[in-house]
Amino acid sequence: MRILVTGGAGYIGSHTVLSLQQAGHEVVVIDNLVNSSAESLRRVAELSGTPAVFHRADLVDESAVDAVFAGHAIDAVIHFAGLKAVGESVREPLHYYYNNLVGTLNLLRVMDRRGVRSIVFSSSATVYGEHNPVPYLEKMEIGANNPYGRTKEQVEDILADLGAADSRWQIALLRYFNPVGAHPSGRIGEDPQGVPNNLVPFIAQVAVGRREKLMVFGGDYDTPDGTCQRDYIHVVDLADGHVAALDHITGRPGVYRWNLGSGKGSSVLEVLRAFEKAAGKRIPYEITGRRSGDLPAFWADASSALADLSWSTTRTVDQMCEDHWRWQKNNPQGY
């Protein structure tokens, strides 16, 4: 198939472009490069041997999106493009709602007009909010507790309404847990701008000497070692999950929700130790106060994706850290 990947120059997008190409699909990318570099796509082409077609365009510009569809016979869309920093979304809610919702509405309107009614959407475990017991199951009632998470929840609602109104739509809502790691080649990986918001990129920047030490937010949670537990998923497993979801929905109209996670929680200190092992060095850290809004522990119930897609994670936290370290060591300043 010919797949349009929005946000394809980004972290998860670039790994998914590679997985799609390796599965035999043709790829067209739209990205405005607000949080990425076109270098990622050049390196993906190096790894796959086939360049993806790249359009630098903003999804909030509906005519630019339409022009891309006019130029290519697109069969399906994987929609990553969006802003994703929780803290920034609290400070700049209008910016987040505008980018993530208007961008998505433009994309969906163009898809509908052009008769492309197959979409895989990047949702997030953050939609489960604070009230659900772990592990999280797709059938639980969602309710995010920050503007970023609410943009994900609202796009899920829009897509569910669309699927209910028009039975031709094939829609997958993928709720990612905590993606980390990099392609094992060390050529592509996560390249955060400014201070990393996520644990492993932060540890990696300490390991490479760009930051002094890791701040661990809270060491007195009710968890085995007192630090928060999350469900980490290797980005290549996550990318493969998109290919599996796309295969499943093709020819099967409906609205599907799948957790993409390992089904297991790992603590901050466990991840830190795994990274130290991968990098072969001690990583300085300091335990400080809890960060407001952080949940003590959550992980996925990953059984639906296994049952429906025959997909499950295959890479361990050790592999995530080894691959992340290879990328960081070879590209200390990112792209």
Which residues of the shown chain bind ligand NAD in the complex (CB under 6 A)? 7, 9-13, 30-36, 58-60, 80-84, 99, 103, 122, 124, 176, 178-179, 198
- The nearest distance, CB 256 to ligand NAD, in angstroms, is 17
Q: Closest CB to ligand NAD among 103 and 163?
A: 103
- The nearest distance, CB 281 to ligand NAD, in angstroms, is 25
**What order do you get walking across the sheet with 26-31 strand by strand?**
53-56, 26-31, 2-6, 76-79, 118-124, 170-176, 254-260
- The nearest distance, CB 271 to ligand NAD, in angstroms, is 14
In angstroms, rounded to a whole number, what is the distance separating the alpha carbons of residues 152 and 77? 17
Count of positions (residues) in the chain: 335
- The nearest distance, CB 64 to ligand NAD, in angstroms, is 9
- The nearest distance, CB 234 to ligand NAD, in angstroms, is 12
Which residues are catalytic, by number? 148
Chain-centroid distance of CA 148 in Å reads 13
Q: Closest CB to ligand NAD among 79 and 248?
A: 79
Whole-number Cα distances in Å, 80 to 84, 146, 233, 274, 296: 10, 19, 17, 29, 27
- Longest alpha-carbon distance in the chain: 56
- The nearest distance, CB 251 to ligand NAD, in angstroms, is 25
In angstroms, rounded to a whole number, what is the distance separating the alpha carbons of residues 328 and 281? 14
Q: Closest CB to ligand NAD among 163 and 201?
A: 201
In angstroms, rounded to a whole number, what is the distance separating the alpha carbons of residues 62 and 51? 25
Q: Closest CB to ligand NAD among 53 and 164?
A: 53
State the Rg of the chain over Cα: 19
- The nearest distance, CB 179 to ligand NAD, in angstroms, is 5
Sorted by sequence, the CB contacts under 8 Å of residue 161 that are 6+ apart come out as: none
Q: Closest CB to ligand NAD among 99 and 118?
A: 99
The residue number whose beta carbon is nearest to ligand NAD equals 10
In angstroms, rounded to a whole number, what is the distance separating the alpha carbons of residues 69 and 178? 32
Sorted by sequence, the CB contacts under 8 Å of residue 13 that are 6+ apart come out as: 5, 6, 7, 29, 31, 36, 78, 80, 81
b or e along 143-153 (b: 16 or more beta carbons within 10 Å of the residue's beta carbon)? ebbbbbbbbbb
Task: Label the pairing between strands 170-176 and 254-260.
Answer: parallel
Q: Closest CB to ligand NAD among 193 and 310?
A: 193
Q: Closest CB to ligand NAD among 4 and 59?
A: 59
Whole-number Cα distances in Å, 169 to 62, 82, 112, 119, 126: 20, 22, 9, 8, 25
Q: What residues form DSSP beta bridges with 229?
A: 267, 297
